[in-house]
Amino acid sequence: MKQYSKWLAAAVAAVGTVAIVSSAQAQFVTGQQYLSNIDPVNTVPTGNWTVSGMSDTATGLQITAAGGSGSFSTLYYALPAGQVTPLNPADNAVKFTWTWDSGNAVGGINVLFALDDANGGVDYYDAISPSYSLTPTPGTTYSITLPLQAPNQANIAGGYPVNGLNFQIDPANVSGDYSITFNSIELVPEPASLALLGLGIAGLLAFRRRK
């Protein structure tokens, strides 16, 4: 019984350590939780996105523009020196959160983002998967966690930070104006890795119990 108690205590301690480490590993790419430190003047927009249509809000970068046919738009933002954040090389996934503030979408839209790392990796990620499968609801926040693509993963693991961000949208199925807020981009440990570790600890406990 004493031996089992020791194993249980060790396993609980390990789970606690995993939780602490995973929390410490998570890194927001501009150095803070929300993309509220992006100055619209320092962005490079195309299509229907304009600097005058952007607003630096408390929960991220908000963009208001016209939808409809031919309204595909992009944005590039080069992180200034004060926002380039050293990243934990153990992080192998990216969590992206955005809000559809307003806009009458009559069909699916497409939203993408890209991480530009300091070693030349520029990798695009679908914020909606599959593409065009979501008809967004006004006032709704959406989030997706995706494995880092190979170039980003290799470069970040090698110590290269993210120094630029790209955003894209195809709102062809939006009738009239729309507003979207890019809330946050966070590098995290891949959820599957943590789940497997948890299962391994649970299996170890079960094995000790049978013995």
Residue 20 neighbours by CB under 8 Å, 6+ apart: none
Would you state the pLDDT for residue 1? 52
User: Rounded to two decimals, what is the model's pTM?
Assistant: 0.81
DSSP labels, 134-161: B-PPTTEEEEEEEEPPHHHHHHHHTTPP
Looking at residue 189, what is its pLDDT?
95
pLDDT in tens, 12-56: 444 444 444 444 467 999 999 999 999 999 999 999 999 999 999
Residues 6 or more apart whose Cβ sits within 8 Å of residue 42: 77, 78, 80
d(CA 105, CA 68): 9
Closest CA to 164 of 86, 105, 84, 51: 84
The per-residue pLDDT for 68 is 97
What whole-number distance in Å separates Cα of residue 72 and Cα of residue 80? 26
Positions of the chain with pLDDT lower than 50, given as ranges: 4-24, 194-196, 200-202, 204-207
Residue-level pLDDT at 190: 85
Q: What pLDDT score does 210 carry?
A: 55
pLDDT of residue 23: 45
pLDDT at 179: 98
Residues 202-211: contacts with CB under 8 Å, at least 24 apart = 204/7, 204/11, 205/7, 205/8, 205/11, 208/3, 208/4, 208/7, 208/8, 209/4
Contact status, residue 122 vs residue 80, Cβ threshold 8 Å:
no
